[in-house]
A = this chain, B = another copy of it.
């Protein structure tokens, strides 16, 4: 009974996310989003209620993808849990991809976690963004902690270590790699950091 939307909502949000990650929130104008998505201003305002609305929805989409990216990558049997953690740490060197089948962003600052970037830039003055970013962190932290527990059950990590503490630490390191990557360090250097972190994981004592 009415004209249907001619654009794919997710596709638009992806393009907007890429733009926000590349230029930051305040560095991105509505015209930039318009150009990146191909949508006119009017459509943008009608569909997302402006720049801030686009950001919130893009972050919500990002959050939703975390359930299919990191969470799936970390879930699995106890046996390979330690190796899954290892792989996850190493993949963090290349940043957080826009989507599973999309290559990571060319420059490292744009490859950093979307939620982290937005939280650092505007989280202090934007509670909604801060909360969304924290949600992103929490969901991955839970997945990492579960993977740590799996590795503990398999005897690969010291059973006395607190899995939640360890998960927080690992995620903190991964977010730190994003920052160090933004300084312009080579992937090799970042890999070295990730490997050092992995090497320090507490192994069972009776080894």
> How many Å lie between the Cα of A119 and that of B110 in the bound state?
11
Task: List chain B residues, Cβ under 8 A from A202.
Answer: 200
8 Å CB contacts to B: which residues of A102-153? 107-110, 112, 116-117, 119-125, 130-131, 133-134, 137
- Contact residue among B25, B110, B137, B183 (Cβ-Cβ distance under 8 Å from A137): B183
Instruction: Answer yes or no: A38 CB below 8 A from chain B CBs.
Output: no
A172 to B180, CA, bound (A): 7
Neighbouring B residues of A171 by C-beta, 8 Å: 176, 180
A197 within 8 A of B: yes
Classify chain A: how many residues form its interface, as a range: 35 or more
**A163 smallest CB distance to B (angstroms):** 11
Q: Which of A27, A171, A185 has the most CB of B within 10 A?
A: A27
CB pair A121 B183 closer than 8 Å:
no
Query: What are 24 A-B pairs with beta-carbon distances under 8 A?
Result: A24-B121, A24-B122, A27-B122, A110-B124, A119-B182, A119-B183, A120-B178, A120-B179, A123-B183, A130-B184, A131-B184, A133-B183, A134-B184, A137-B183, A162-B196, A169-B197, A171-B176, A172-B173, A172-B176, A172-B179, A172-B180, A176-B176, A179-B179, A200-B200
Binding site for B on A (CB under 8 A): 22-27, 107-110, 112, 116-117, 119-125, 130-131, 133-134, 137, 162, 165-166, 168-169, 171-180, 182-185, 189, 192-193, 196-197, 200-202
